[in-house]
Amino acid sequence: MQNRLIKKIGVEVSQLGFGAMRLPLKNGKIDRDLAKEQIYYAIDNGINFIDTAYLYGDSEKFLGEILQGEYRDKVRICTKLPSINVRKREDMDYFLDEQLKRLQRDCIDFYLVHSVDLKSVNRLIKKGLFEFLNQAQRDGKIKYVGFSYHGAKEEFDLLIDGYDWDVVMVQYNYFDENVQASVEGIEYAASKGMGVFVMEPLKGGILAGNMPKDAEEIFKKADSDKTTAQWALQWVLNNRNVTCVFSGMNSFEQIDDNISISNRTEPMSMTFGELETVELVKRVMKESLKINCSTCGYCMPCPQGVNIPECLKIYNEKYLFGHKGFMNPAFLDYYQYVGGVMGKPAYAGLCNGCGKCLRKCPQKLDIISELKKVKKEYELPAMKYFLMFIRNIGFPVYRFFVKLLNR
């Protein structure tokens, strides 16, 4: 695994990092045995940097439990202050001390202010953010400081210049090349010697796996052996100003895929033809994608129980993959995964417009309006009664006939 240098602090990290936001789940919780095996496998194959956050479910505590013994000193940890939960200066100390306990460490390598823009940072400054960071460094509780950015590109440089930051985390992929920090913002941060960490290199999985048919054909024509995920990851790593790309891997196949392309990619190594291929695919994708959601999950939990990321994902997939007809795969997925047929109802129509999700969305989506589109697209009249019929009559009848046929 190739390492890249953070010039300002003289520290090297693997250019591929392990993102702990999307660890494998079992019954709604981290599948501890499988996730542990995957993380050890990634470390054994050269990954020495793991990203987590206070808001990533139980991931901090889980990492603290498994990164002991021989694995304790093999990785650097990046975690984040939950800025949205900070109401006063004392909250910052509370969260940091709690995170140190969860991670079972005396010092956190990289500590980022989570999911901020200029407005939210100004709010935190008034509550003592900079004093907190300075004191935490003096006390030896954190080594290096930064922030993860979710604001307008016009404000990015102002935040970079507003404090002596060591690193920054930005969203960056070939589809979202010029949103939030943008290419120019990344270059500016790197020019100051800062480490630039990248999140959402695969845009929540949209740029990996199945792609629109036209997009897949473009990629296959250029290189039939390279996966869509490898194309996306290679494009990000090709940027010499990027220090580390965090990928939310939750299968051994994904880990192998990402490590393989990372081992073969150096800065500025893509040919003009390869870059042109990615640009053609981006044009095809932009024509099909309806909602610019990365399924990050920051909008959750919804007070009404709506599974917002899944609703928007299924809506996008209908248009990305050209699903048509009443009983198309996207329609069936909607009723199976969020409709309540196979579990607790989490469909778009449950939204009451409270707006709590709006201020948490990194993409600044009008989630309420988008959910109305999803509802109109998928939900039948009298949805609640339709689901009651399926659960109480449809499934029992189905199971009866399955048993009858298997006799």
What CATH number has the domain bearing residue 256? 3.20.20.100
Same domain, 227 and 337: no
Same domain, 324 and 220: no
pTM of the model as a whole: 0.80
Same domain, 11 and 127: yes
Minimal CA–CA distance to 134: which of 111, 103, 117?
Answer: 111
> Residue 147 — φ and ψ, nearest 5°?
-150, 150
Same domain, 379 and 273: no
Same domain, 104 and 156: yes
CA distances from 251 to 24, 160, 177, 213 (A): 7, 35, 27, 24
The answer to whether position 26 is within a domain reads: yes
Which distant-in-sequence residues (6+ apart) come within 8 Å of 160 by Cβ? 168, 185, 188, 189, 192, 194
Same domain, 111 and 232: yes
Minimal CA–CA distance to 258: which of 4, 7, 80, 19?
Answer: 19
CA distances from 165 to 144, 159, 185, 376 (A): 8, 9, 14, 46
Burial 176-208 (b: 16+ CB within 10 A, else e): bbebbbbeebbebbbeeebbbbbbbbbbbbbbb
The answer to whether position 299 is within a domain reads: no
Look at the chain and report how many structural domains it folds into: 2
Same domain, 206 and 335: no
Residue range(s) defining the domain that contains residue 57: 3-285
The answer to whether position 13 is within a domain reads: yes
Return the structure tokens found at 392. Answer: 């109480």
Please give the chain's pLDDT, 407 residues, in tens.
Answer: 899 999 999 999 999 999 998 899 988 899 999 999 999 999 999 999 999 999 898 999 999 999 999 999 999 999 999 998 999 999 999 999 999 999 999 999 999 999 898 989 999 999 999 999 999 999 999 999 999 998 888 899 999 999 999 999 999 999 888 878 889 999 999 999 999 999 989 887 778 877 888 899 999 999 999 999 999 999 999 999 999 999 999 899 999 999 999 999 999 999 999 999 999 999 988 887 788 887 788 898 899 999 898 889 888 878 877 776 655 666 777 776 787 765 678 889 999 999 999 988 988 899 999 999 999 888 877 677 777 776 667 656 655 654 565 45
The answer to whether position 303 is within a domain reads: no
Distance, in Å, from the CA atom of 316 to the CA atom of 309, rounded to the nearest integer, reads 11
Same domain, 171 and 236: yes
